[in-house]
Structure 1
């Protein structure tokens, strides 16, 4: 298992730093001058713990920083939503209608579903369609070697069909250059990738294809569930902290974050999204994907939506043909 050999020690250091800072009214990274001996000397025991693991200190700072969310009044929030948080159409007509226009920038959307239900295919299709519409660059974090450049090329070839072959080939190359894939195989490589993305956004670095408008993580549950076992809450704390960091990136930089999650047994023969109650409050939008046995029809239901009244069940249907792009009904 590709986890840090000092995993338990580093999580304990994170927890120590949280308690140490909180007891002194330090809740933001800019108020925690960890390079200053005066802060560390405030507590002999905590000082020893923090000096023993610089990586743990850096991780704790990252978590402090992830809590630094902007405070705005209702009018400012509405203005921000109308001016800066555009919809990114997914290309799947049923999903776009279901969500009122597509995936919203500034929000974290989760697609949960059982194995082989089509979660990865939807991610690949959405990435292709967003790039096709030249909305900006897409960062795709792949945790299970599921990203397929040939599949992307096939989808792009389907939705981009100018008559002139030279124009066609040039357009395909441009679209595919907008999608940037990085492999992540444990919770720490995910954390590092998120902070690398944050650094890129802070520097206003422009990827090929323009400003970053979307982050896709497929699948986030395969990275997080291994640290959630047992009664220890440190794994859950790390999960929630990374969730807040993703929401912060989405809100501050007006990007849409899309993650996939698998299903687990919910008792009584039912199933539910993995990662438990601590994660449940993180996504702004939760979608559940299902498919009838032997059918190519995928059903997508809205489980949670911060901008939608869910008194009436809402569902979309997506047709998934084997080895073909996902198409709307």
Structure 2
């Protein structure tokens, strides 16, 4: 792989890689890179409030979340919080998540010798939530009890949009209004949990297609130039050539405290090697300094 000194990088990113003595792309791929991610994100994930990780399929959202579940178990001197994690899954297969976690555990134990005899998987509590009613029961009843009885330092919901998409699959104004109310209640509850137990809550979000202004006008028959006031806001979240935006709209975007977007370039094959590139972008964070 090409040496990093020959690649044009932002000064902060270049300095973070230099501090970790990473000189090539290959070294970056072989290391878990927790300290590097912390510096690139201006301090890492927020320790309180709601952090959203958004991206399209295969962008690496679940992989990043599983890495955080393992990182949070590390000693404080290694950037961890010496505690466990709760992984609330609203879609997908729990057994597949556990399999991927075990694969990542093997890698992290190779890096930290003193963790070889530690059962990192035991400190991750997996919960399956298949609908909004079950989600309500978990967040209001089961999760607070679990957090009060265990040393949990991280809560992840993957994904936050799945159950809402299934329950409010309509464009009717009254249904959209009800969805907005439920989103506000959900955000309030998650922030309450974060404050009460002093831990970060990470919500994985999906993306939806962004229609152009002309496409929308033609679809709904509108000729009003001022009707699409949300257009500029949505375009702040475009990555690369894709026309994708976070789901759940403006109400949810005003609920979260920070947003991290993962994107994946068009997939290409060089020989037998997948040459697709993934990008992590800190879209919104009150704690980070941008330069």
TM, length-normalised to structure 2: 0.66
- Is the contact made by 2:157 and 2:204 (CA closer than 8 Å) also made in structure 1? yes
Q: Spell out the pairing of 1:97-108 with structure 2 (5 A cutoff).
A: 97-108=39-50
Which one of 121, 133, 140 corresponds to residue 87 of structure 2?
Answer: 140
For residues 212 and 163 of structure 1, the distance between their equivalents in structure 2, rounded to whole angstroms, comes to: 21
Residue 55 of structure 2 contacts residue 207 of structure 2 at CA under 8 Å; is this kept in 1? yes
Q: Does 1:301 align with 2:281?
A: yes
Asked if 1:212 corresponds to 2:159, the answer is no
* Counterpart contact for 1:106–1:252, Cα < 8 Å: no
Match of 1:285 in 2: 258
Which string of whole-angstrom CA distances, capped at 9 and with x for unpartnered residues, describes residues 56-115 of structure 1? xxxxxxxxxxxxxxxxxxxxxxxxxxxxxxxxxx95444311322221221211011011
Is 1:91–1:129's contact at 8 Å kept on the other side of the alignment? no
Aligned 8 A contact 2:69 2:84 in 1: no
**Residues 1:241 and 2:185 are matched in the alignment:** yes
Paired residues of 2:210 and 2:245 also in contact (CA < 8 A): yes
Displacement over 4 Å in runs of 4+? none
CA distance in 2, matches of 1:128, 1:308: 23
8 Å contact from structure 1 (residues 95, 300) kept in 2: no
Task: Evaluate the alpha carbon distance shift between residue 93 and residue 266 of structure 1 in structure 2; reply closer, same or farther with a 3 A threshold.
Answer: farther
- Return closer, same or farther for 1:162/1:271 CA change in 2, 3 Å cut-off: closer
Which structure has the bigger radius of gyration? 1
Uncovered stretches (5+) of structure 1, i.e. residues with no partner: 1-89, 313-329
RMSD: 2.3
Q: Deviations over 1:189-219 (max 9, x none)?
A: 1111112212344xx312xxxx111001111
Determine the structure 2 residue equivalent to 1:193.
138
Instruction: State the 1:266 CA deviation.
Output: 1.9
Q: Per-residue deviation at 1:162?
A: 8.0
- CA drift of 1:309 comes to 5.1
Q: Describe the shift of the 1:301–1:163 C-alpha distance in structure 2 as closer, same or farther (beyond 3 A).
A: closer
Alpha carbons 2:58, 2:264 under 8 Å: kept: no
Shift of 1:235: 2.0
| Correspondence 1:158 to 2:103 | no
**CA contact under 8 A between 2:42 and 2:287: conserved in structure 1?**
no
TM-score (norm 1): 0.59
2:210 aligns to what?
A: 266
User: Is 1:253 aligned to 2:192, yes or no?
Assistant: no
CA contact (8 A) 1:290 1:298 kept: yes
Q: Is the 8 A contact 1:109 1:287 kept in 2?
A: yes
Structure 2's unaligned 5+ residue stretches are 1-31, 76-80, 213-241, 268-274
CA distance in 2, matches of 1:182, 1:163: 28
The aligned length equals 212
